[in-house]
Amino acid sequence: MSAATAELIERTLRDAEGTLSAAECATRTGISRVSARRYLEHFHTTGTADVSLRYGTTGRLERRYRFRGRPADLRSGGEARA
């Protein structure tokens, strides 16, 4: 993963009003939908983003992402604060 792309995705997610799908994030950042989804899922796994599900226009579930922020108990190096 690229630090520059991660920062771009995070900034886009943080600046969004409400939630974003991977396709919307891709359009706003100029990267592919697959790459946007990969970064968004990474943020979800690390606790930086929340995910909700919504039925799209074709009846398929759409994953929606919302910026949550960095976990307060973790430093950038991944160490828990005492």
- Domain ranges for the chain: 3-67
Position 44 pLDDT exceeds 70: yes
SS (H, E, C) the chain: CCHHHHHHHHHHHHHCCCCECHHHHHHHHCCCHHHHHHHHHHHHHCCCEEEEEEECCCCCEEEEEEECCCCCCECCCCCECC
The CATH fold of domain 3-67: Arc Repressor Mutant, subunit A (1.10.10)
| 69 has pLDDT over 60 | yes
pLDDT band at 71 (very low <50, low <70, confident <90, very high): low
pLDDT for 70: 65
Q: Which residue has the higher pLDDT, 51 or 81?
A: 51
